[in-house]
Structure 1
Amino acid sequence: MQRTFYRLFIELTNGRFTSYLLRKFTQSRLSAFLIPSYARVFQIQQDEMERELREYKTLHELFTRRLQPGRRSIDAAPDSVVSPVDGVLEDYGAITDEKQFVIKGKTYSIVDMLGTNERAEAYGGGTYMVLYLSPSHYHRIHSPVSGMVRERFVLGRKSYPVNQLGLRYGKEPLSKNYRSVTEFVTERSRIAMVKVGAMFVNSIELLHERDAVEKGEEMAYFTFGSTVVLLFEKNAVVLDHLDKGKGIRVGERLGRML
């Protein structure tokens, strides 16, 4: 019963007014009474948290928690691409020359995802990767590479679930949800990191404002579980042999830049 309640609480939203009420509740002291049972139901790894569970005064504070220093190791190889989040490797594969890819039987357009054909042009024939964050995961987002920020922009208005049911039955949530995009330029190529909102309108808070970025550096956080999509140019990256559905952590190597 508790698991069902929390899953509905996290995932069941599609209106601005509902989102506003839920956001206000999670940011209020009234939400504190849910913290112990939430941590138990979703098996939050409390030994990694920066603070003791009792020190979090709202659900929002718990959702956006930081980890203790040194809890994540960042792969140091100069050519490596690392996971920007703790999550599950939902899918990865080739982007067609028509700038599309397919997940759960749905075709996603890179043009829709990035907003214009001009932005999408670089990724035709490239590679995509989808990383899903559940409500139990650490929700901070880090840089997958070192380089320069080429562009930051926001698209979309509403946000719907991006879990497996959402991907299977939703209306292209990866390319239609509210999303915040950061495009990087490295010495080797361009990479787009698409942060997809899962529940609230503007559920993604940006923390990094500088042009230069270091691999593993904190960039933003999700208010709730969500999804990150990485887009790579054609012939720009060789992915490691990764198992779909596998859990992955910030800093773990995903592949290497060519």
Structure 2
Amino acid sequence: MTVKGLISTFTQQEDINFLLTNRIPRAAITRFMGWFSKIENPLVRDVSIACWRLFSDLDLSEANKTEFKSLHDCFTRELKPGLRPFDPDPAIVASPSDGIVGAFGEIADTELFQVKGAPYSLFDLLGDPHLVEQHRNGRFVTLRLTSSMYHRFHAPHDAHVGQVTLIHGDTWNVNPVALKRVERLFCKNERAVIRARLRTGEALTLVPVAAILVASIRLHLLDVTLNAQTRGPTVFPCDAEVRKGEELGWFEHGSTIIIIAPGDFAFSENIREGQRIRAGEPLMRKPMREAF
């Protein structure tokens, strides 16, 4: 096949992928999946997990248990103790989750990007001018969790969490095909903004972004599941100290976490586009300062 033919075939495959995962009633499919995945029936569970294995690289050998009540129970599985040790170096900000490194780099004033040539603004993502100022000219990393990955996320460093904000939105797929085609996708999807400060004072913000089939984020810090059905206030004050590696919560399927840090933090050598990373591995290195 010619190069032109290969490009044409690849483009057609991308078109099909985008149509199958986005040009459908996303909200309705997501609600259905939320209901279906929690059915505690052995036949439904076994067939669902078998299909999941067929279309992904699902590996349950690390799971803390071998029997699951439902598909949802399998999605949100815990791992055997000790399998995700967090780098103990106090200068290291660790990866909060397993994932694939997507876009990363410096924030140009208040502009960052989801893929090359596709910028979006901090304000559109965070919705808070004060928080935007804290991260002006900072650094960011986007981690994409595929459906078969470990879905729980953890504190990347010792920190104080002061507030969580839920921003209601859509449920676009967050795979690379959609990121190239939907402008400002992360700013359109349902997401939580977790505002934290390290013990040395630096602002560190985590933004878990929900996606199709997953519009629910569960945080241990809050006694509520964050999703489209969340009613009432969407700003949740917190006063919680977390330790590096402490579990913060989980997604109920694959999705994305954006980590935003100060501009004088340096990326670890292992951070490059397309690189798989595990929770606890080095993500950034911060300059050493005396704690308050």
Is structure 2 residue 247 aligned with structure 1 residue 218? yes
CA distance in 1, matches of 2:128, 2:32: 33
Percent identity of equivalent pairs: 29
Partner of 1:49: 63
State whether residues 14 and 158 of structure 1, in contact with CA within 8 Å, keep that contact through their aligned partners in structure 2: no
Is structure 2 residue 35 aligned with structure 1 residue 24? yes
Question: What are the equivalent positions in structure 2 for 1:64-75 lying under 5 Å apart?
Answer: 64-75=76-87
Partner of 2:225: none
Structure 2 stretches lacking a partner, 5+ long:
1-16, 223-238, 288-292
Residues 120 and 14 of structure 1: CA distance in aligned 2, closer, same or farther (over 3 Å): farther
Residue 234 of structure 1: how far off its partner (Å): 2.7
State whether residues 102 and 144 of structure 2, in contact with CA within 8 Å, keep that contact through their aligned partners in structure 1: yes
- RMSD of aligned alpha carbons: 1.9
SS at match of 1:29: coil
- Output the amino acid matched with 2:267: L
Which deviations, in whole Å up to 9, do the C-alpha atoms of 1:131-158 show, x marking residues without a partner?
0000111000111111101221111222
Residue 40 of structure 1: how far off its partner (Å): 4.2
Aligned pair partner of 1:110 in 97, 122, 127: 122
Aligned pair partner of 1:205 in 218, 232, 242: 218
TM-score normalised per structure 1: 0.89
TM-score normalised per structure 2: 0.79
CA distance in 2, matches of 1:100, 1:59: 38
Residue 171 of structure 1: how far off its partner (Å): 3.4
Aligned pair partner of 1:37 in 38, 51, 54: 51
CA distance in 2, matches of 1:82, 1:61: 26
Aligned pair partner of 2:91 in 79, 88, 110: 79
Is structure 2 residue 277 aligned with structure 1 residue 238? no
Which stretch shifts more, 137-146 or 114-123? 114-123
CA distance in 1, matches of 2:214, 2:88: 35
State whether residues 16 and 201 of structure 1, in contact with CA within 8 Å, keep that contact through their aligned partners in structure 2: no
Which deviations, in whole Å up to 9, do the C-alpha atoms of 1:46-94 show, x marking residues without a partner?
2201111xx1132111111110001111100112100001110112101
- Output the amino acid matched with 1:48: E
CA distance in 2, matches of 1:224, 1:161: 11
Residue 17 of structure 1: how far off its partner (Å): 3.1
Partner of 1:167: 179
- When Rg is computed on C-alpha atoms for both structures, the one with the higher figure is 2
State whether residues 76 and 151 of structure 2, in contact with CA within 8 Å, keep that contact through their aligned partners in structure 1: yes
State whether residues 14 and 160 of structure 1, in contact with CA within 8 Å, keep that contact through their aligned partners in structure 2: no
State whether residues 75 and 252 of structure 1, in contact with CA within 8 Å, keep that contact through their aligned partners in structure 2: yes
Partner of 1:154: 166
State whether residues 214 and 251 of structure 2, in contact with CA within 8 Å, keep that contact through their aligned partners in structure 1: no
Instruction: Give the aligned length.
Output: 247
Aligned pair partner of 1:196 in 209, 213, 225: 209
CA distance in 1, matches of 2:275, 2:29: 33
Partner of 2:13: none
State whether residues 178 and 201 of structure 1, in contact with CA within 8 Å, keep that contact through their aligned partners in structure 2: no
State whether residues 160 and 198 of structure 1, in contact with CA within 8 Å, keep that contact through their aligned partners in structure 2: yes
CA distance in 2, matches of 1:11, 1:139: 20
State whether residues 94 and 125 of structure 1, in contact with CA within 8 Å, keep that contact through their aligned partners in structure 2: yes
CA distance in 2, matches of 1:189, 1:22: 39
Partner of 2:14: none
Residues 188 and 119 of structure 1: CA distance in aligned 2, closer, same or farther (over 3 Å): closer
State whether residues 158 and 242 of structure 2, in contact with CA within 8 Å, keep that contact through their aligned partners in structure 1: yes
Partner of 1:3: none
CA distance in 1, matches of 2:106, 2:245: 25
SS at match of 2:61: helix
Residues 15 and 91 of structure 1: CA distance in aligned 2, closer, same or farther (over 3 Å): closer
